[in-house]
Amino acid sequence: MDQRASEARARGEDVKRVQVWVPYDRISRNLTRAVLAGEDSRFFDHAGFDWEEIRKAMEEDWNKGEFKRGASTITQQLAKNLFLSTSKNPLRKLHEAVITKEMEWILGKRRILEIYLNVIEWGDGVYGTEAAARTYFNTSAAAVSTDQAAFLSAIIPGPNGALNPSTHRRRVERRKNLIERLMRHVVVPRDLD
Protein backbone atom coordinates (compact mmCIF):
# COMPACT_ATOMS: atom_id res chain seq x y z
CA MET A 1 0.00 0.00 0.00
CA ASP A 2 2.82 2.36 0.87
CA GLN A 3 4.63 1.48 -2.35
CA ARG A 4 1.51 2.14 -4.45
CA ALA A 5 0.97 5.46 -2.64
CA SER A 6 4.59 6.48 -3.31
CA GLU A 7 4.24 5.52 -6.98
CA ALA A 8 1.05 7.62 -7.29
CA ARG A 9 2.68 10.62 -5.62
CA ALA A 10 5.72 10.29 -7.92
CA ARG A 11 3.36 10.47 -10.92
CA GLY A 12 1.65 13.52 -9.40
CA GLU A 13 -1.60 11.61 -8.84
CA ASP A 14 -3.87 11.47 -5.84
CA VAL A 15 -3.37 8.46 -3.62
CA LYS A 16 -6.36 6.11 -3.78
CA ARG A 17 -7.14 3.66 -1.02
CA VAL A 18 -10.38 1.82 -0.47
CA GLN A 19 -10.27 -0.81 2.25
CA VAL A 20 -12.84 -2.14 4.69
CA TRP A 21 -11.66 -4.83 7.10
CA VAL A 22 -14.02 -7.77 7.54
CA PRO A 23 -13.57 -10.73 9.89
CA TYR A 24 -12.91 -14.14 8.36
CA ASP A 25 -16.43 -15.38 9.06
CA ARG A 26 -17.88 -12.53 6.96
CA ILE A 27 -15.99 -13.57 3.83
CA SER A 28 -17.77 -15.84 1.38
CA ARG A 29 -16.58 -19.45 1.46
CA ASN A 30 -16.69 -19.21 -2.34
CA LEU A 31 -14.12 -16.44 -2.23
CA THR A 32 -11.87 -18.27 0.21
CA ARG A 33 -11.94 -21.40 -1.99
CA ALA A 34 -11.33 -19.37 -5.16
CA VAL A 35 -8.34 -17.56 -3.67
CA LEU A 36 -6.89 -20.84 -2.42
CA ALA A 37 -7.46 -22.43 -5.85
CA GLY A 38 -5.71 -19.58 -7.62
CA GLU A 39 -2.94 -18.75 -5.18
CA ASP A 40 -2.08 -21.69 -2.90
CA SER A 41 -4.17 -24.85 -3.26
CA ARG A 42 -2.09 -26.72 -0.64
CA PHE A 43 -2.30 -23.91 1.93
CA PHE A 44 -3.60 -26.24 4.64
CA ASP A 45 -1.04 -28.95 3.85
CA HIS A 46 2.20 -27.00 4.31
CA ALA A 47 3.88 -24.97 7.03
CA GLY A 48 4.45 -21.84 4.96
CA PHE A 49 6.43 -23.27 2.04
CA ASP A 50 5.10 -25.46 -0.76
CA TRP A 51 8.24 -27.45 -1.58
CA GLU A 52 6.56 -29.22 -4.51
CA GLU A 53 5.70 -25.88 -6.17
CA ILE A 54 9.19 -24.56 -5.43
CA ARG A 55 10.70 -27.62 -7.14
CA LYS A 56 8.43 -27.19 -10.18
CA ALA A 57 9.24 -23.48 -10.43
CA MET A 58 12.98 -24.17 -10.25
CA GLU A 59 12.77 -26.85 -12.95
CA GLU A 60 10.68 -24.64 -15.22
CA ASP A 61 12.97 -21.64 -14.73
CA TRP A 62 16.06 -23.80 -15.30
CA ASN A 63 14.63 -25.25 -18.53
CA LYS A 64 13.69 -21.79 -19.83
CA GLY A 65 16.93 -20.19 -18.67
CA GLU A 66 15.11 -17.44 -16.81
CA PHE A 67 13.67 -16.74 -13.38
CA LYS A 68 9.99 -15.95 -13.84
CA ARG A 69 7.72 -18.58 -12.33
CA GLY A 70 6.73 -17.89 -8.76
CA ALA A 71 5.99 -20.45 -6.10
CA SER A 72 5.17 -18.23 -3.15
CA THR A 73 2.52 -19.43 -0.76
CA ILE A 74 -0.15 -17.18 0.70
CA THR A 75 1.90 -16.88 3.88
CA GLN A 76 5.01 -15.86 1.93
CA GLN A 77 3.00 -13.31 -0.05
CA LEU A 78 1.56 -11.91 3.16
CA ALA A 79 5.01 -11.67 4.77
CA LYS A 80 6.25 -9.74 1.74
CA ASN A 81 3.19 -7.49 1.54
CA LEU A 82 3.18 -6.60 5.24
CA PHE A 83 6.85 -6.25 6.02
CA LEU A 84 9.06 -6.19 2.91
CA SER A 85 9.57 -4.63 -0.50
CA THR A 86 8.81 -6.22 -3.85
CA SER A 87 12.54 -6.55 -4.59
CA LYS A 88 13.78 -9.90 -5.93
CA ASN A 89 16.91 -9.50 -3.81
CA PRO A 90 18.04 -12.84 -2.24
CA LEU A 91 18.41 -11.15 1.15
CA ARG A 92 14.77 -10.01 0.96
CA LYS A 93 13.76 -13.59 0.15
CA LEU A 94 15.69 -14.78 3.22
CA HIS A 95 13.88 -12.25 5.42
CA GLU A 96 10.61 -13.39 3.86
CA ALA A 97 11.40 -17.01 4.78
CA VAL A 98 12.07 -16.12 8.42
CA ILE A 99 8.89 -14.04 8.70
CA THR A 100 6.88 -16.78 6.96
CA LYS A 101 7.95 -19.39 9.53
CA GLU A 102 7.17 -17.02 12.41
CA MET A 103 3.73 -16.15 11.02
CA GLU A 104 2.79 -19.81 10.55
CA TRP A 105 3.91 -20.58 14.09
CA ILE A 106 2.33 -17.57 15.82
CA LEU A 107 -0.81 -16.76 13.81
CA GLY A 108 -2.13 -20.04 12.43
CA LYS A 109 -3.92 -20.65 9.14
CA ARG A 110 -7.23 -18.92 9.84
CA ARG A 111 -5.63 -15.63 10.95
CA ILE A 112 -3.12 -15.68 8.07
CA LEU A 113 -5.96 -16.17 5.60
CA GLU A 114 -8.06 -13.45 7.24
CA ILE A 115 -5.23 -10.91 7.08
CA TYR A 116 -4.29 -11.87 3.53
CA LEU A 117 -7.86 -11.53 2.29
CA ASN A 118 -8.11 -8.09 3.89
CA VAL A 119 -4.87 -6.58 2.58
CA ILE A 120 -4.24 -7.92 -0.92
CA GLU A 121 -4.63 -5.54 -3.83
CA TRP A 122 -7.54 -6.00 -6.22
CA GLY A 123 -7.08 -2.92 -8.38
CA ASP A 124 -5.92 0.67 -8.27
CA GLY A 125 -6.30 1.55 -4.58
CA VAL A 126 -8.64 -1.39 -3.90
CA TYR A 127 -7.48 -3.51 -0.96
CA GLY A 128 -9.18 -6.48 0.65
CA THR A 129 -12.20 -8.62 -0.09
CA GLU A 130 -14.88 -6.16 1.00
CA ALA A 131 -13.54 -3.32 -1.16
CA ALA A 132 -13.10 -5.71 -4.11
CA ALA A 133 -16.62 -7.14 -3.80
CA ARG A 134 -18.10 -3.65 -3.58
CA THR A 135 -15.94 -2.24 -6.41
CA TYR A 136 -16.54 -5.00 -8.94
CA PHE A 137 -19.97 -6.36 -7.99
CA ASN A 138 -21.61 -3.87 -5.62
CA THR A 139 -22.05 -6.62 -3.04
CA SER A 140 -20.47 -7.60 0.27
CA ALA A 141 -17.58 -10.03 0.67
CA ALA A 142 -20.03 -12.34 2.47
CA ALA A 143 -22.37 -12.50 -0.56
CA VAL A 144 -19.84 -13.17 -3.33
CA SER A 145 -21.03 -15.95 -5.67
CA THR A 146 -18.85 -18.73 -7.11
CA ASP A 147 -18.55 -16.93 -10.45
CA GLN A 148 -17.70 -13.60 -8.79
CA ALA A 149 -15.19 -15.30 -6.49
CA ALA A 150 -13.39 -16.93 -9.41
CA PHE A 151 -13.23 -13.55 -11.18
CA LEU A 152 -11.76 -11.83 -8.12
CA SER A 153 -9.23 -14.61 -7.61
CA ALA A 154 -8.27 -14.47 -11.28
CA ILE A 155 -7.07 -10.87 -11.06
CA ILE A 156 -4.98 -11.17 -7.87
CA PRO A 157 -1.59 -11.73 -9.57
CA GLY A 158 -1.85 -8.54 -11.64
CA PRO A 159 -4.92 -6.35 -11.06
CA ASN A 160 -3.15 -3.23 -12.36
CA GLY A 161 -1.25 -4.95 -15.15
CA ALA A 162 -1.53 -8.23 -17.03
CA LEU A 163 -4.78 -9.19 -15.25
CA ASN A 164 -6.46 -5.80 -15.19
CA PRO A 165 -10.07 -6.63 -16.12
CA SER A 166 -10.53 -3.28 -17.88
CA THR A 167 -7.73 -3.91 -20.37
CA HIS A 168 -7.30 -7.71 -20.42
CA ARG A 169 -10.85 -9.04 -20.10
CA ARG A 170 -10.28 -12.21 -22.18
CA ARG A 171 -7.14 -13.14 -20.23
CA VAL A 172 -9.01 -12.65 -16.95
CA GLU A 173 -11.94 -14.72 -18.28
CA ARG A 174 -9.64 -17.64 -19.17
CA ARG A 175 -8.01 -17.57 -15.74
CA LYS A 176 -11.44 -17.27 -14.07
CA ASN A 177 -12.65 -20.40 -15.89
CA LEU A 178 -9.54 -22.32 -14.79
CA ILE A 179 -10.04 -21.23 -11.17
CA GLU A 180 -13.69 -22.31 -11.25
CA ARG A 181 -12.54 -25.81 -12.28
CA LEU A 182 -9.81 -25.87 -9.61
CA MET A 183 -12.24 -24.73 -6.89
CA ARG A 184 -13.97 -28.11 -7.05
CA HIS A 185 -10.85 -29.68 -5.55
CA VAL A 186 -10.22 -27.15 -2.77
CA VAL A 187 -11.50 -28.04 0.66
CA VAL A 188 -11.57 -25.50 3.47
CA PRO A 189 -11.54 -27.31 6.82
CA ARG A 190 -14.75 -26.89 8.81
CA ASP A 191 -12.83 -26.05 11.98
CA LEU A 192 -11.79 -22.79 10.32
CA ASP A 193 -15.39 -21.57 10.52
Domains assigned to the chain = 13-192 (1.10.3810.10)
Q: Which of 1-5's residues contact partners 24+ apart within 8 Å by CB, and which partners?
A: 1/119, 1/121, 1/127, 3/85, 3/86, 4/121, 4/125
Give residue 18's pLDDT.
82
Give residue 174's pLDDT.
97
Give residue 47's pLDDT.
81
Give residue 55's pLDDT.
72
Q: Are strands 126-127 and 121-123 parallel, antiparallel or unpaired?
A: antiparallel
Give residue 66's pLDDT.
62
Q: Which residues of the chain have pLDDT under 70?
A: 1-9, 15, 54, 57-58, 60-71, 192-193
